[in-house]
Amino acid sequence: MEDEARSRSDLIRIFLDRKNTIAVVRVSGNPEKYGHIVYKDLKEAGYEVYPVNPYITDASGDKCYPDLRSLPVKPDVVSIVVPPKVTEEIVKTCSELGITKVWMQPGSESDEATRFCNDNGIQFLYGVCIMIEFRGAGNVQ
């Protein structure tokens, strides 16, 4: 159990490396929604971060991309803030694009999505919130 906690902690540190480009899938246009807060906080912290949502074109004044394929760069990490069934499709897209790090926000994970990641060489986190980990590391004022 201690090894599992240590490896999870190491994975969190790897995912939150400042050199990583992060895509936040399902950024909201509503500043009070979680997807919007994740995007805004990571951007303000200096990450290269891209908003993804097929239903909006703008996030905090930045161009919002309809899907991962539309991004101008391949992200190192994809943070997913969607229902589990949508996550299952997103992890397949990540595999097709060669994206190897996925952070499934609490509530977006499913057994099928985690199994797919395991079977396709995608490192993933779930059951832990990117913002709690990010803020816990002293990254947000």
Topology of the domain comprising 2-136: Rossmann fold (3.40.50)
Displacement of CA 46 from its chain's centroid (Å)? 16
pTM (predicted TM-score): 0.91
Domain residue ranges in the chain: 2-136
pLDDT tens string 81-90: 999 999 999 9
Q: What is the pLDDT of residues 69-108, one digit of tens each?
A: 999 999 999 999 999 999 999 999 999 999 999 999 999 9
d(CA 63, CA 69): 14
